[in-house]
Amino acid sequence: MAECKVKFNPDGKIVSIESGMTIAEASDLAGITIDSPCAGNGTCGKCKVIVTAGNPEPPTEAEERFFSEDELKAGYRLACQTIVKCNMEVTIPEDTRIRPIKILSVGAGQEIVLHPNISKIYVELEEQTLARQIADFANIKEAIKSNFPDVCTDLKVLRQLPKILRDSKFKVTLVLDGNKLVGVEAGDTTNKNYGIAVDIGTTTVVSTVVDLNTGKEISVASALNTQATHGADVISRINYTVEENDGLAELSDRIIGVIKQISEYACAEAHVNMKDIYEVTVVGNTTMTHLFLKVPVRNLALLPYVGVFSDPVDVKASELGFNFNPDANVYVLPNIAGFVGADTVGVILASALNRSETIKLAIDIGTNGEVALGSKERLLTCSTAAGPAFEGAMITYGMRGAPGAIERVDLKDKPIIQVIGGGKPIGICGSGLIDVVAEMLRLGIVDETGRMANPDDLNISPELKKYIRKNDEYGPHLVLYEQDGHEVVITQKDVRQVQLAKGAIKAGIEIMMNKLGIKLDDISEVLMAGAFGNYIKKENAIRLGLIPNFPLDKVKFIGNAAAAGAKMALMSKEAREEGIRIARFAEYIELATDPNFQNEFMDAMTFPTDSELTFLS
């Protein structure tokens, strides 16, 4: 097959590829990650590029839908649709690239007694003599039998013992994983005992280094999940593993690579040697934990949506390709169901929802919307098909929470915007989207059905009316920013996407309340978890109906609770065991099979009226 060269500007990177690949595939080989929330299906229009040299194939129907005739003549194309069959030069605009985003790495966790699974014990063993002919391993067992009466080990350690013991004059540090001796180190190394807690999100990944001797968090690093190249949602990624022969291996390698990168960075920041990492705990939704372990995910997208495993998994870090201590263990927390995974177990563990005397509601609004409702008596969970709208997908100028994203909006005589990183806005992220739709509702620009009003019918300032417009390209829309030929607008279609997303979450909550036979007054607290939940204004979330009409002081942000749960499992055997009990105790509600779901969903799509918002007076 013919070879083509593609040069990407302004990076100046050149890659050689086989003829027939897309520009998106070529950019990936060049190490340039293009935003592609629709997984290359040509439905989102986010991967726009400009072909400045070379003769691409005629535009596809998708490209004709997203670009005008003049734009196509100027070289505008969709990277996922344009096939490379000759040498090309391609410019990738800033708003097409996946940029570093604001990632929430901290979360509230319960106080626990420090009792990690990994122990390091310094011993000075009595040397053997003719009068005391005791085997090396038996000598070790004798020295620690009061605290570890049933120690075992493996062949690898047995083979290492003779040399290490005698080279160190029988002064060694024993490394125990529970009651298993997994390593022996010369001298006293007890002060070097670290672990890492990992939260694998669909969009972002967080790695936290913890001192297992003190329980102190000493360094955190985070990055985007590079699997996003193949879609913003889990279904797109599952489909990729089915459609591509090496899809499963590629997505597994991508997440392992991200964890390696951020773990190395976090260790370097804390001056911790990677070889002193003895245990890793991992949370993520069910698809993410399966992909992490390179376990097939096909059946998670097919009825009845079951995974391969739900119990916790232990695996040697070296088997996964990590360069931690050779004997380091990786512990993946249990899953609850096909679409409610170890991350939700982490949220419940960190919030102690399973031990609560009163009924509480926990909502983790990320790329997926997981909800848990209940107390120590009964605990329900569900996954809502909120879609990635709050991550910027399917929104006209939507983007993730990266520099250049509008994150705050107030509507006065003109739109007042706050941009991440300052400067000119590129688009709008989830928190800004919640703000602007809430403001439009407050002023009557959008009614409870989601319909945008005619500005002439509105009782708002004449200055603000100038920003409400209608044209053939967008239909009715609100202009948030326009300067030098660039604009950021919110369209009628964008409002509908918000209604779909928030409606799915609200309907899930209503179904679970019905299952428990409770009303809003029976819920003592609403706990908002996850990065997105931590950045939104709770009064605006209530105005949209994203969360129930609740007293503001009872709505609490608990940060990245999934990561906090992973840290708890790293620091405490008891927390780890509680995580297993949570996965068995929590009931999963499959919303799609509930006979009331469609009606609840249709009702939930409407926005609350002012008379219903009793706590926002």
Instruction: Count other Cβ atoms within 10 Å, centred on residue 605.
Output: 20
Is the pLDDT assigned to residue 21 strictly greater than 80?
A: yes
Q: What CA–CA distance (Å, rounded) separates 103 from 561?
A: 13
More confident position, 377 or 12: 377
Supply the pLDDT for residue 538. 87
Supply the pLDDT for residue 63. 86
Backbone region of residue 347 per phi and psi (left: phi > 0; alpha: psi in -120 to 50; beta: other values): alpha
> Given the structure tokens 């597994």, which residue do they identify?
252
Q: What CA–CA distance (Å, rounded) separates 522 from 603?
A: 21
All structural domains of the chain, each given as residue ranges with its CATH number in brackets, are: 3-96 (3.10.20.30), 118-186 (3.10.20.880), 194-332 (3.30.420.480), 353-387+498-611 (3.30.420.40), 389-492 (no CATH)
> Using omega within 30 degrees of 0 as the cis cutoff, is the peptide bond preceding 476 cis?
no
More confident position, 533 or 510: 510
Q: Give 167-220 pLDDT, tens digit per residue.
A: 999 999 999 999 999 999 999 999 999 999 999 998 889 999 999 999 999 999
Least confident of 65-74, 237-246, 426-435: 65-74
User: Which DSSP category does 128 fall into?
Assistant: P
Q: What percent of the chain has pLDDT over 90?
A: 64
Supply the pLDDT for residue 387. 65
* Encoded tokens for 313: 């998994």
Q: Are 400 and 463 in contact (CB under 8 A)?
A: no
Is the pLDDT assigned to residue 617 strictly greater than 80?
A: no
Supply the pLDDT for residue 159. 97
Mean pLDDT of 38-59: 84
**Rounded to two decimals, what is the model's pTM?**
0.84
Average confidence score pLDDT of the chain? 90
* Geometric angle at alpha carbon 42, from 258 and 100, rounded to 5°: 30
Buried b (16+ CB within 10 A) or exposed e, 550-582: beeebbbbbbbbbbbbbbbbbbbeebbebbeeb
Residues 6+ apart with CB under 8 A from 113: 572, 574
Q: How confident is the model at residue 104 (pLDDT cuts 50, 70, 90)?
A: very low
User: Which DSSP category does 83 fall into?
Assistant: B
Is the pLDDT assigned to residue 107 strictly greater than 60?
A: no
